[in-house]
Amino acid sequence: MSTTAGSKVFEYIEKLAAISEDDGKLTRVSLSEQHRQANQLVAGLMRDAGMLVHTDAIGNIVGRLEGQSDSRALLLGSHLDTVRDAGRFDGMLGVVAPIVCIEQLQKNGVKLPFAVEIVGFCDEEGVRFPSTLLGSRAIAGTLDPAVLNECDANNISLADALQAFGQDPAKVSSASRSADEFLGFVEVHIEQGPVLEREGLPVGLVSAISGAGRYSITVDGVAGHAGTVPMHLRSDALVAASECIVEIERICQALPDVVGTVGVIDARPGAGNVIPGQVEFSLDLRSSRDSTRDQAQQQIYNAIDSVAAKRKVAINCQQTYEANSVTCDQWLSGQIGQAISACGHRLHSLPSGAGHDAMALAELTNVAMLFVRCAGGISHNPEESITEEDAEVAVQVLYQLLTQFEYDAAS
Ligand code: HGY
Ligand code: MN
Ligand code: MN
């Protein structure tokens, strides 16, 4: 059977999907042994495609193909870390599709005037550490050094994790790149939503990326004996947290274009016959409009204050991360749009509710995104899937973009 670009993409995706810390599920967090193995696999694919490869100071894997006449690079790529029990395309598609495209260019003897770099970012999901977009923010030069002190669930700091990964945490800032090195950043990513499938389209153009805030909310009540403390004398941290969570849902349902998610909750001491004395839960708050997200945040804080007073508990809300919404660059998006049309597909532009490394890179260079249809819009779920045909279209659009790329060579 002849290999197509789509089948090559799937071949590489399957190899990456086999590298996981969980048997039978795909979980690969940043700076782990599994991340190291994934970087090594991707480095081999990049080298086989004729690229020079290095690992930067934050653990991103970076491949580069020199241009014939211009040292500036069009940057491509996405993330190699995953959520827990993840799908195999979220992130990885945006690293593998560009590599297959470079393979095709090399096979066809096409020499581009400008350089191409492909990056596999080390941490976009923010599963291991409280912050996220670590790899892309390091490249953009916007990473706050304070994140080096953030710890994972095993109390390992980012600095120690970098050390164990073979990187010197004192040199993280050397991962930052300068704007004049790049022509722009294009990220290929699954849509993670149902729109392209409903439109009957294999690919789409991203107009904007929603901003997001992440919070850690701690409720302090009074632990007690489940059998001896009357209901009216309790300061039950878990019931108070539950009321806060229902309030968060009510507020986000009432506001336009806001989504709020509590994905993690930890009740302590965690015994069935003990009234929970302390609860910590996460909040992920998003909107394509930063002002609306701010409005939701304020309403949530007010609601939490009311619950605290009513239930005689102390509640602390700590924002651990924020990324403002990003509008994709018109010029770069226009070139992707031309490539989509040239490949014979109707152009459809849509916003991204999910966050992406492109949000961080927008601080450094022009960014644009190509979405690929995914079945049922399912993502952050092992059922996440795309077709080989759509993967083929993504590579074709990238090929068209690179070979027809128009830019001001003089500047
Ligand atoms: O959470 C997100 O939007 C992304 O998948 N990290
Ligand atoms: Mn994701
Ligand atoms: Mn992603």
Question: 20 pLDDT exceeds 60?
Answer: yes
Pairing state between β 114-121 and 182-190: unpaired
Of the listed ligands, the closest to the CA of 92 is 3
The alpha carbon of 122 and the centre of ligand 1 are apart by a number of angstroms equal to 14
49, two tokens: 């495609």
214 CA from centroid of ligand 2 (Å): 14
Give the integer Cα–Cα distance in Å for 283 and 123.
Answer: 19
Residue 354 beta carbon below 6 angstroms from any ligand 1 atom: yes
What is the predicted pLDDT for the residue at 3?
A: 76
Mean pLDDT of 330-335: 97
Q: pLDDT tens digits for 281-307?
A: 999 999 989 999 999 999 999 999 999
Q: How far is the CA of 125 from the centre of ligand 2 (A)?
A: 6
Stretch 160-175: mean pLDDT: 97
- Give the amino acid at 361: L
| pLDDT recorded at residue 409 | 78
Residue located nearest, by CA, to atom 6 of ligand 1: 125
Could you identify the atom of ligand 1 that is nearest to the CA of residue 353? 3
Percent of the chain's residues with pLDDT above 90: 96
Rounded-to-5 percentages of helix, strand, coil across the chain: 40, 25, 35
pLDDT tens, position by position, 44-88: 999 999 999 999 999 999 999 999 999 999 999 999 999 999 999
Residue 94 CA to ligand 2 centre (angstroms): 12
Q: What is the pTM of this model?
A: 0.88
Q: Rounded distance, CA 217 to CA 211, Å?
A: 20
May I ask the CATH class of domain 214-322? Answer: alpha beta
CB neighbour burial string for 153-192, b if at least 16 within 10 angstroms, e if fewer? eeebbbbbbbeebebebeebeebbbeeeebbbbbbbbbbb
Residue 193 near ligand 1, beta carbon < 6 Å: no
Distance 179 CA to ligand 2 centre (A): 26
Distance of CA 309 to the CA centre of its chain: 37
Please state the atom number of ligand 1 nearest to the C-alpha of residue 379. 5
Q: Tell the burial category of 256 from Cβ atoms under 10 Å away from its Cβ (0-12, 13-18, 19+).
A: exposed
Nearest one of 173, 164, 279, 267 to 217, comparing CA atoms: 279
Concatenating the DSSP letter of every residue in 369-396 gives: EEEE--GGG--SSTT----HHHHHHHHH
Residue with CA nearest ligand 1 atom 4: 355
**What is the spatial distance between Cα 238 and Cα 227, in angstroms, rounded to a whole number?**
16
Q: What is the mean pLDDT of residues 90-106?
A: 98
Two structure tokens written together for 207: 């107009």
Q: Where are the domains of the chain?
A: 5-210+325-403, 214-322
Length of the chain: 411
- The class that CATH gives domain 5-210+325-403 is alpha beta
Residue 411 has pLDDT above 70, yes or no: no
Give pLDDT tens digits for 208-267: 999 999 999 999 999 999 999 999 999 999 999 999 999 999 999 999 889 999 999 999
C-alpha 102/C-alpha 117 separation (Å) is 10
Mean of the pLDDT values across residues 296-324? 96
197 φ, ψ (degrees, to nearest 5): -65, -40
Ligand 1 neighbour 86 (Cβ under 6 A): no
Please indicate whether residue 355, judged by its CB atom, sits closer than 6 Å to ligand 1: yes
Encode pLDDT of 169-182 as tens digits: 999 999 999 999 99
- Per-residue confidence (pLDDT) for residue 260, from 0 to 100: 97
With contact defined as beta carbons under 8 Å apart, do 290 and 305 qualify? no
**Mean pLDDT over each residue of the chain, to the nearest integer:** 97
